[in-house]
Structure 1
Amino acid sequence: MSTIAIIGAGKGLGLAVARRFGREGFAVALLARSQDNLDTLTDTLWTEGIHAVGLTADVRDPGSLQVALDRAASALGPVEVLQYSPVPAPEFMLPVLDTAASDLVGPVEFSIYGPVTAARQVIPGMRTLGGGTVLFVNGASAVRPNGAVTGTSIAFAGGSAYAQLLHDALAPEGIHVGQLIIPRGIGGGDPTHHPDAIAETLWRMHSERGDFRTFLAPLE
């Protein structure tokens, strides 16, 4: 059985992706900070016939992230697909003139240190499988800096650079790294931004292994 690990799993996109990959026979490891929320999600997936486990982790705590991913591999087998899609905290999104150096610590831990820790933890397992996929999900500020959300703009840019470098380094090994850019956020009444539609896009990114970067919609 193949395994997908979803970091930042919630009742929106995380659950939709778990269902989409679950329909393809994947076991699902859900990682988030709240065990209560994880229990609700895993119970839902089990009732739908999807093998799922919920593991607590804080992406700003490398040790907890490493332990959770190790536990996922022990319980379900090596992670074939990793999705990194936690939602940034509101305090990461200050206007540029209100942003001090100390305000960048959280965003950098969240959007650079977290992805690096997670990727390095699962890549050895992907190599044993002969391939895998790493999916990063970001907002538009990852490619177009926005002075109203300075922390995420800066940190997303660093995370994007890392993801691009990872893509180039791992492609010869059969490990695909892709980044999905979601302008205007998830939901909002736009059918293309519904969690189920985004989950379908992420499935195609894994199964078709196209370009590094995919835009859910054109940038405005």
Structure 2
Amino acid sequence: MRKPVIVVVGAGPGVSGSVARRFADEGYDVALLGQDQDVLDDLTADLEGRGATVGHAVADVTDEQAARDAVRRFGEHTGRIDVLHFNPSAFREKDPLTLAVGELLEDVALGVGALLTVVQAARPFMSAGGRVSVTGSMAADEPWEGAASLGVQKAGVRNLVHSLDKTLARDGIRAVSVTVRGTLSREGAFTPDRVAEAVWAAVTRDDDGWTSEVPYRGQ
């Protein structure tokens, strides 16, 4: 029986890398989609050392065709996608009076729109029991005005997850946003590894009582 597969979109050294490691430790093979080849190489070596078979691709996920092609290649190679984890967001330090409309739309294309792209590309390779997960943030409810576009992205991507979950549930696939209600740190309750544990717990729940948002408060 082939091992389950997770595709991590926006793969990097933070939460997304910790999610990849958490699933690899549970016996998943891993596909990584990111923007930095060196980071992907380092993460690949780590995951392979944990026994995972790893594929990776460098792509700008706001380039719809490039992102679709990368995810499709992963699916065709593995024959299945069991979990799709979406991590990208843009941090632009501009308040609402200095943020241009074009900049806001550019950020939303990354933090929200790209989720549509990769889910649509992954869907043909997903079956009942499949999961879509997203790294959410308390910025959706408590935005910092100094980076106004981030709150818009996190509110938008959470809303989109709700719609995705309702749509995919018809085929036994569920979607969830894990809302991190704290600031990421190197120590304590909000390290990337602790957040990854929350993602694992949210994704592996039974369908009974499923919710499309799970808050992580560091507990």
Q: For 1:51-130, what aligned pairs fall within 5 Å after superposition?
A: 51-88=53-90, 90-91=91-92, 93-126=93-126, 129-130=127-128
- Tell me the distance in 1 between the aligned counterparts of 2:99 and 2:13: 31
**Equivalent residue, structure 2, for 1:185:** 183
Q: Do the aligned residues in 1 keep the contact of 2:89 with 2:110 (CA within 8 Å)?
A: no
**Equivalent residue, structure 1, for 2:131:** 133
Letter in 2 for 1:149: A
5+ long unaligned stretches in structure 2? none
Q: For residues 16 and 176 of structure 1, do their structure 2 counterparts lie closer, same or farther at Cα, with a shift above 3 Å needed?
A: same
Return the match for 1:8 from 6, 10, 16. Answer: 10
5+ long unaligned stretches in structure 1? none
Letter in 2 for 1:82: L
Q: Do the aligned residues in 2 keep the contact of 1:3 with 1:77 (CA within 8 Å)?
A: no
Return the TM-score normalized by structure 2.
0.89
**Equivalent residue, structure 2, for 1:198:** 195
- Tell me the distance in 2 between the aligned counterparts of 1:26 and 1:4: 7
Equivalent position SS for 1:96: coil
- Tell me the distance in 2 between the aligned counterparts of 1:61 and 1:145: 27
TM-fit CA distance, 1:100: 2.0
**Equivalent residue, structure 1, for 2:217:** 217
Identity of aligned residues (%): 27
Return the TM-score normalized by structure 1.
0.89
The answer as to 2:15 corresponding to 1:33 is no
Letter in 2 for 1:100: A
Letter in 1 for 2:85: Q
- Tell me the distance in 2 between the aligned counterparts of 1:48 and 1:161: 35
- Tell me the distance in 2 between the aligned counterparts of 1:35 and 1:99: 30
Return structure 1 stretches of 4+ with deviation > 4 angstroms.
Answer: none
Q: Do the aligned residues in 1 keep the contact of 2:89 with 2:111 (CA within 8 Å)?
A: no
Q: Do the aligned residues in 1 keep the contact of 2:83 with 2:130 (CA within 8 Å)?
A: yes
**Equivalent residue, structure 2, for 1:20:** 22
Equivalent position SS for 2:55: strand
Return the match for 2:149 from 151, 154, 159. Answer: 151
- Tell me the distance in 1 between the aligned counterparts of 2:82 and 2:58: 20
TM-fit CA distance, 1:86: 1.9
Letter in 2 for 1:167: D
Which structure has the highest helix share of the two?
1
Q: Do the aligned residues in 2 keep the contact of 1:178 with 1:205 (CA within 8 Å)?
A: yes
Return the match for 1:208 from 199, 205, 215. Answer: 205
- Tell me the distance in 1 between the aligned counterparts of 2:105 and 2:196: 30
TM-fit CA distance, 1:168: 1.6
Q: Deviations over 1:119-176 (max 9, x none)?
A: 11112221xx323100011221123343222112223222222111111222232111
- Tell me the distance in 2 between the aligned counterparts of 1:74 and 1:185: 37
Equivalent position SS for 1:150: helix
Letter in 1 for 2:19: V
Equivalent position SS for 1:10: coil
- The CA RMSD over aligned residues, in Å, is 1.7
